[in-house]
């Protein structure tokens, strides 16, 4: 899959032109993920499509697929996390009224139309939104749970000191 280009789009023109871009994005290019992911090896497959519906409402559909490596918060081991993101985004221009949140479709989010919309930042935002706060394997044990309690624990040493 070719590298994703263009990186910056005019959301008005993109939607009106019913444009589609797709390609691969190296995880290394998504700098805000560096604190969250175990490593930045690999790519994500990305597809962005724009259109206007019969009511002249502007839409972007962002699809992101791939796999990222997280650190399990229980065993501290590597954990592969599959990504399958499909986001529907209503694009609202500066002269348009933002939809009422109570009436809006729960399956769609609203973003402001931009002359220079950074596609990588949009991808990164969507990935950050779906990642777990504390990733954990379905079944694993804490590294401390597998150690023998034989007095070699720092807490056991403190308990001995406290008795004196």
pLDDT for 65-118, tens place per residue?
999 999 998 898 999 999 999 999 999 988 887 777 655 567 889 999 999 999
- For residue 155, the model assigns a pLDDT of 73
Res 147: pLDDT: 53
What is the DSSP-derived secondary structure letter of residue 3?
B
Coil, strand or helix at 49 = strand
Tokens 């444009």 belong to residue: 19
What is the predicted pLDDT for the residue at 74?
A: 86
In total, the chain counts a number of residues equal to 164
Question: What is the per-residue pLDDT for 164?
Answer: 64
**Which pLDDT score, from 0 to 100, does residue 2 have?**
84
Residue 163's pLDDT band (cuts 50, 70, 90): confident
Please, which contacts does 108-115 make with residues 24 or more away whose CB atoms are closer than 8 Å? 108/59, 111/60, 113/11, 113/12, 113/58, 114/10, 114/11, 115/10, 115/11, 115/12
User: Which pLDDT does position 101 carry in this prediction?
Assistant: 65
Q: What is the pLDDT of residue 125?
A: 96
Q: What pLDDT is stored for residue 152 in this prediction? A: 64
pLDDT tens digits for range 19-57: 999 999 999 999 999 989 999 999 999 999 999 999 899
pLDDT of residue 137: 87
Residue 120 CB contacts under 8 Å (≥ 6 apart), including other chains: 4, 7, 25, 29, 30
Record the tokens describing residue 95, joined without a space.
Answer: 């002269």
Q: Is the dihedral of CA 144, 149, 150, 154 positive or negative?
A: positive
Measured CA to CA, the distance from residue 60 to residue 52 in angstroms comes to 9
Cα(100)–Cα(95) distance, integer angstroms: 16
End-to-end Cα spacing for the chain: 67
pLDDT of residue 37: 94
At 150 the pLDDT is 52
So what's the pLDDT on residue 63? 98
CB atoms within 10 A of CB 47: 15
Looking at residue 86, what is its pLDDT? 97
HSE, side-chain direction, 13 A CA sphere, residue 113: 19
């Amino acid at each position: 899959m070719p590298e994703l280009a263009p990186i910056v789009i005019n959301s008005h023109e993109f939607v009106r032109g019913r444009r589609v871009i797709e390609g691969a994005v190296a995880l290394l290019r998504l700098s805000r993920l560096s604190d969250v992911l175990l490593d930045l090896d690999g790519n994500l497959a990305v597809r962005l499509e724009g259109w206007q519906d019969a009511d002249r409402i502007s839409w972007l559909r962002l699809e992101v697929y791939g796999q990222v490596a997280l650190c399990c918060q229980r065993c501290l081991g590597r954990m592969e996390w599959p990504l399958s993101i499909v986001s529907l985004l209503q694009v609202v221009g500066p002269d348009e009224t933002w939809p009422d949140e109570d009436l809006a479709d729960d399956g769609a989010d609203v973003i402001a139309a931009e002359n220079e919309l950074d596609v990588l930042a949009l991808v990164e935002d969507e990935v950050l939104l779906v990642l777990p706060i504390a990733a954990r394997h379905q079944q694993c044990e804490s590294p401390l749970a597998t150690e023998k309690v034989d007095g070699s624990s720092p807490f056991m040493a403190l308990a001995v000191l406290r008795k004196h």
